[in-house]
Structure 1
């Protein structure tokens, strides 16, 4: 009976996380819809699924194509206080009311994989900007300029400037190329792909490019990096 209760709790928690995630994506989509209505040159795609050269699937919450850049957006609807940075494998969520702590995969690393494969799919012709949006506006304790609050999203996109400027024709071309790349797979197939990726990491294989994961030492200590660096920047903490 105890095992059954544990299984039920896990199922309920997973369903709750999925619901909150979709709710967060909807809020971001509302903002992007408004921006697209105000700026007819902006295009965006939601719930984008990409198959890489190894037929592995990658689900991207939002892709935005604007005059000032291409943005790959990951949304997170975590409540409480979130602590993390770009290097950590997992972030820590603390619920103030109970003091409970939970660990989640670092969404910056998660989105870095999306950016890598998206860039490859587009022939490495464009710079893809990674952005993580915290739906509950609790990004202040996260150490990264690529993580922002939901209420900062509109200003961030409007004011972003790294010298890139796409014409309306280029925006439409990129948008059409992405639509052609949209994959039609089931959620079960995507979950199976995730499990395969985890197995590859355990076996010392880079899940992005198939290279070998080798031990390296950096500013934050020892870690595993892809042997194809700098072409592939996949890393995993030791």
Structure 2
């Protein structure tokens, strides 16, 4: 439970102490801590290593160095039968010169079993672990480099439920489903369509440019 100092409230009387106890119960927060950039990485990695059900990541952008570092961990999570769900911006919202790289990174996440959901104009930086842990603040988990950021870690089922409702997990670009399993994209499970390129025709994903999967006719 939160202490009075964590709540930012001082008390002197029994009545005030009772009010604080009631506030703690209403908030149902077991633990709340603040982290800077350096201390964040030393605490988020253990949390990710102990995922028992799912991790949901809201990160507007992706960068190769950070994805390369986290991908083996995501692979272990999915191979253990747990979910990695990532919300990120469309490839088209990256700089033109970086769009091919962004698409390749999203493809690499999907190859390791992560579910990537495309969400326009998003800017949230949130990590939800199982049904109790909420990380939120200013740091982009999948693209952070060397900027100074802050993140808050909250352990609370009720807070996580409220955050999920505010984020609206159903708000993302839906993928066109394939009725024929042979015409299903291996990465995002979307519909394959016939396309033409410099080397002739091929099957490509209907989710392009947010999915780069292709195969020969």
TM-score of the aligned structures, taking structure 1 as reference length: 0.27
| Greater strand share, structure number | 1
Higher relative contact order (CA 8 A, sep 6+): 2
Larger radius of gyration: 2
In the superposition, the TM-score normalised over structure 2's length comes to 0.28
